[in-house]
Amino acid sequence: MTTSMLSRLVTGLSLALLCSPLPALAEFAPNFLPTLGVERATGPVKIDGSLDEAAWASAARATNFAEVSPGDQIEPSVSSEAWVMFDDQNLYVALIAQDDPEEVRASICDRDAIFQDDYFGIMIDPYGDQSSGYELFVNPLGIQGDLRMRSDGNEDGSFDMIWLSEGKVTESGYQVEIAIPFSSLRIPDQEQQTWRVNFWRDHQRDVRRRYAWAAQDRDNPCFMCQWGSLTGLEAASGRRPVELIVSTIGTQASEGDPDTAFENHSPDAHASAHVKYAVSSSSTAEIAVNPDFSQVESDAGRIDVNQTFALFFPERRPFFQEGSDLLDTWVSAIYTRSINDPNVAAKFTGQYSKTSVVYTFAQDENSPIIVPFEERSEFEMGGESISNILRVRRSLHEESFIGALATDRRLDGDGSGSTMGMDGLYRLGNYRLEVQGLASRTEEATIENEDLTGTFGDGHTEALDGETYWGHGIYASLERSARTYSADFDYWDYSPEFRTDNGFTTRNDFRQASFWNGVDFSPNTEWVSEWGTNASIGRVWSSAGTFKDEWVRPEIWLNTKGQTNVGTQYLFSRERFGPEVFPGIRVWSFWFNSRFSEVFSFGFSGNVGQGIYRDLEEPELGDQKNWSAEVRIKPSQRVELNVSLDRNRMDSRERDENLFSGYILRTRTDVNFTRQLFLRLVVQHNNFGNRVDIEPLLTYRVNPFTMFFLGATSRQQRFLAEDYDAIQQNDWQTSDRQLFAKLQYQFHL
């Protein structure tokens, strides 16, 4: 072969190689509805976060996580793995998160306070019917956060259960070791178990990136329907032992004012017992004698000026956690804080195949009564009562279900309130139909109240004078949820006589129709992760057909890098309040929040415009300026400071007069010495009430049900000289004070 021929051959081969297509790189393929088969552990496991036991070598491995937000099923920039195995008592999970150890966000904090850290965990639906699920998350140091997921995707953050976890930051990121006792879960009473699960990781940086083992189709609104399956569980014993929780609380209170000596009351003590018995792995029976339903954590102050309806506060008491996912219905017929101070309370919770049931009984010493009307609600205390609450729900396919409930409260002496009805949800593709109908029967207690002088409905008197009547509450909604376009049409109808003594109905005598629709986009560009716009319209009538309210409310929002979101909304409204119609309601609302740093985050929101001054005697249109701001500072892993300020002001448009003005300033400082021992200090200045509350609290928490508290509350009141003879000028003095200690311990018998 000549040199020229060799040269032409080499050139030809080179051109051929250059022109030929290169082998295609494998595209990332997320896991849709994956399955993970697990086996028994081959040896003992110590929960210390080290993963050095030989048993982990044979654990099943969940890999190939996808970024589900803000990226849409793309390959994450860091890898994640979950290892799973089990024995007769526990499900074991190891979570391995690749990351730069210098950038890992982790706090030494109280349980359930981890959700601004990096966190990783497992979601479990033991029955696979999408009716409810468990969410168990841990931060990189192994501190726990547990929630209960409801069928609609909403979460109950007050839920707690017993499980073990430890974690550590490593050279390649962090790893966590978890043991979940089968006895802590409500699971099917059968030997072979197949669960629906997902593994979920939050990666908190310039953007809150979320990764999942079971990928999520954004065009499918059923979140739990898209979880994977965990197979191979054998003889998983969910039979729980008898649990006994005993608690004792000691208090010493003091009170006084400028005209009376400051009085120190005698110390008081209170003991209680709570027994939980496992009827089976899927059902429990509980009884609490003289239960301690006190709240150590105080509710944050809320501005109630210019509000004519009672304010809602969430349930935090442990007794009501089991089965709480069933009690939340669209018409609020069950509000467990209506059981205020019982001598005895009992509960049964169970799930049988696709049917769930909760029954609650309570004998209450001091029963709150919310009396709803068309434009306001009144509040009374009704003395002793007996309450019975029954809730049953049958799961159908995916999120769909049909349910029924009945409640009854009987006051000692006279007065009762009962509700009964059905509800259901049917989902077909991107559409959901939700309906609920309730009937109520009220026999009024006889309680004197000079403010109850009007009439309602078919000539009934507002006064609590023993009248008996029936009412109804109806709700219907047709919703569409999809990747880009979503919509919601709602209809409500509460008769003037509708009341829910064991629920939270603060308003009745109205019919409301509203329509909301919006579009969302997720460009996930260099600066913008998501943005969207929506608008809602609605109209309200009284049950007699009298116009009450109508509105149009457009909105636009934007999420950017740096975990920053900003949005604005404008309200055009016309409303009747009392005898007058106010046509010129215009309110501009705005908000801005940013978590661009682990150390510092802040946010503010507000609304300005023209709103109604809701004086029941002389309402008028006023100029309102309301705003709030919040700052979070975390100088170290163990210390966090939160400061919030809420300010409301309204001025008359008819005359040069301020109708109301004030603020609530609240600071909370948390110092965490260890995972179990921490100090909290709340200082709150309520300018509307001219008072300052100081609340230190020292907590030692072994687990959610074994703990010790030592704390105090002190109220400094600004007394006005015009109201008291003993002072010549306005003065700040201590009006009341309380010292308390609480010990609670859980025994397994």
Q: Report how far residue 246's alpha carbon sits from residue 294's, in angstroms, rounded to the nearest whole number.
A: 14
- Whole-angstrom Cα distance, residue 524 to residue 526? 7
pLDDT of residue 317: 77
Pairing of strands 460-461, 468-480: unpaired
The ranges of the chain with pLDDT < 50 are 1-25
- The CA–CA distances, whole Å, from 219 to 209, 515, 525 equal 19, 21, 20
Give the SS3 label for residue 184.
helix
Strand 173-181 and strand 192-204: the pairing is unpaired
In terms of DSSP bridges, do strands 132-138 and 228-234 run parallel, antiparallel, or are they unpaired?
A: unpaired
DSSP string of 334-353?
--GGGS-SEEEEEEEEEEET
Fold held by 35-234 = Immunoglobulin-like (2.60.40)
At 480, which helix (H) or strand (E)? strand 468-480
Give the pair of three-digit tokens for residue 440.
Answer: 């109520």
Instruction: Let me know: does 589 contact 604? Beta carbons within 8 Å.
Output: no
Phi, psi of 658 (to 5 degrees): -85, 125
62: Cβ–Cβ under 8 A, 6 or more apart, which residues?
Answer: 34, 36, 81, 82, 83, 84, 199, 213, 228
Q: What is the pLDDT of residues 505-540, one digit of tens each?
A: 999 999 999 999 999 999 988 899 999 999 999 999
- Residues 683/666, Cβ–Cβ less than 8 Å: yes
Can the peptide bond before residue 126 be classed as cis, meaning omega within 30 degrees of 0?
A: no
Q: Give the N- to C-terminal CA distance of the chain in Å, as an integer.
A: 94
| 42: three-class secondary structure by DSSP | coil
The structure tokens 């996808």 sit at 66
Tokens representing residue 506 in the block? 């603060």
pLDDT number for residue 154: 82
In this prediction, residue 290 carries a pLDDT of 85
pLDDT of residue 3: 42
Token pair recorded at residue 203: 């990666």
pLDDT score for 25: 47
Burial class (CB in 10 A: 0-12, 13-18, 19+), 667: middle
pTM to 2 decimals?
Answer: 0.89
Measured CA to CA, the distance from residue 585 to residue 536 in angstroms comes to 16
